Copies of this chain bind each other. A is one copy, B any other.
Amino acid sequence: MYKVKVTIKRRPSILDPQGTAIEKGAENLGLTNIKNTRIGKFIEFTVDINDKTKAKQEVENYCSKLLANPIMEDFEYTLSEWTPSEE
């Protein structure tokens, strides 16, 4: 079983209107030194497969078919062995 952490970011060439909006909010609060805000996703899950190669396949399918938008976003992930009793 593996614990997976995925980060999903918009490609650098793609505008991030949500980031721009929230940064405007920061400015209004007096936080004027914050720039280049980009909002992405951070997703955690477990994969109940013991073979690492197969687990990675499942993770990549999940990321590319459901979690990330392949047109606008890139994803990265880390996989670490995990047993349910740990948490």
A residues near B, CB below 8 A?
7-9, 12, 19, 22-23, 25-26, 29, 31, 33-49, 55, 58, 61-62, 65-67, 87
Contact = CB atoms under 8 A, between A and B. Distances in A.
A31 B38 CA distance: 30
Q: Within the oligomer, what is the number of copies of this chain? A: 2
Contacts of A37: 43-45
Nearest to A48: B33
B66 A22 contact: yes
Given A31-B58, A58-B34, A23 B45 contact: yes
Nearest to A47: B33
Given A26-B66, A31-B61, A62-B26, A36 B42 contact: no
